[in-house]
Amino acid sequence: MPSSAEYQQAAAVIRQRTSLPVRVGIVLGSGLGGLADEVQGAVTIPYGDIPGWPQSTVPGHSGTLVIGKLDDVPVVLQRGRAHFYEGYSAQQVTFPIRVMHFLGVQALILTNAAGGINASYRVGDVMILNDHLNFVGMTGLNPLIGPNDDSLGERFPGMSGAYDRDLRNVARSVAQAANVPVHEGVYAWLSGPNFETPAEIRMLRTVGADAVGMSTVPEVLVARHMHMRVLAMSGITNAAIAEVDSGMEATHEEVLEAGKLLVPRMSSVIHGVLRALI
């Protein structure tokens, strides 16, 4: 399990390249990396240059950290993330969020690609997370397991307000003003890498999940442990399949294809939220 000293060492390596006082961290999920191209005065650091930083092995996740300004807000932006299914521990997957804390980040914007479970969701819609179901955590895999570093956060962090209400409200109004189809809902985290079975989708629907994906929740746990404000958004890239023998199958290509539609939508919401933060 990485220590505070390792997070600080990674932060120091990043600081050698730029002294920009970042306050907002952004994580761009599968196929959603396009916003990184809009960063002004971008300093780009390959993950491989940062000690301890997990590399992403998935197509659609480019693996660079970008630091610069978006809408005049100094941001640190992760273009691609590492996932639990790639073989990383929950602590390794969340290493970047700890490092962002040591860079000065106080608000975190997370994005992901997700399968739509709620029958009213369409491919290309944006779902603002207002809660989550941590199925991986229920199996005993949680990035906060292990000795607690009290200097980072408390032993038993609460999760009833994990998704910042003000940020959700801003994101929703910005999306509506930009005619982006938007919902608020519950995200279920499963490890993957396989897509869900129809029976699993029916179970998830029954227990109140609106969308399902393979990321984000461990990052939220670690961010809330350190009292960062969190905004998380899913891009609905495919409809989860709830019946056997439908002849349909979710694919990563489909996820990346829908990402093309979602990049401008997610980007406009993130721009609006950053402008509101100034």
The piece of 2-10, 35-43, 76-84, 211-219 that touches ligand HPA (CB under 6 A) is 211-219
Q: Which of 47, 56, 82, 86 is catalytic?
A: 86
Burial of 147 (0-12, 13-18, 19+ CB in 10 A): exposed
**Binding letters toward ligand HPA, positions 240-259, x by CB under 6 A:** x---------x----x----
Binder of ligand HPA out of 27, 180, 186, 214 (CB under 6 A): 214
Which residues make Cβ contacts (< 8 Å) with residue 105, sequence separation at least 6? 22, 23, 24, 25, 76, 228
113 binds ligand HPA (CB under 6 A): yes
> Catalytic annotation on 238?
yes
CA distances, 34 to each of 30, 60, 268 (Å): 10, 10, 12
Nearer to ligand HPA, 203 or 250 (CB): 250
Stretch that binds ligand HPA, among 153-161, 173-181, 207-215, 221-229 (CB under 6 A): 207-215
Q: Is 30 a catalytic residue?
A: yes
61 catalytic per annotation: yes
Q: Can 132 be counted among the known catalytic residues?
A: no
CB-nearer residue toward ligand HPA: 71 or 257? 257
Is there a catalytic annotation at residue 227? no
Pick the closest to residue 170 from 219, 93, 90, 109 (CA basis).
109
* DSSP 8-state symbol, 140: T
Q: Say if CB 258 and CB 62 are below 8 A apart.
A: no
Asked if residue 113 lies in contact with residue 29, where contact means CB atoms within 8 angstroms, the answer is: yes
253 flagged as catalytic: no
Q: Residues 149-188 vs ligand HPA: string with x where CB under 6 A?
A: ----------------------------------------
262 binds ligand HPA (CB under 6 A): no
Q: Which residues contact 249 (CB under 8 A, 6 or more apart)?
A: 195, 241
Q: Which residues contact 223 (CB under 8 A, 6 or more apart)?
A: 97, 108, 230
Of 66-74, 76-84, 137-145, 212-220, which segment contacts ligand HPA by CB under 6 A? Answer: 212-220
Q: How far is CA 46 from the centre of its chain?
A: 19
Residue nearest to ligand HPA (CB): 115
Residue of 214, 223, 228, 242 marked catalytic: 214
How many Å apart are CA 255 and CA 31, to the nearest integer? 7
Annotated active-site positions, please?
A: 30, 61, 83, 85-86, 113, 214-215, 238, 252
Q: Which residues bind ligand HPA (CB under 6 A)?
A: 113-115, 192, 195-196, 212-214, 237-238, 240, 250, 255
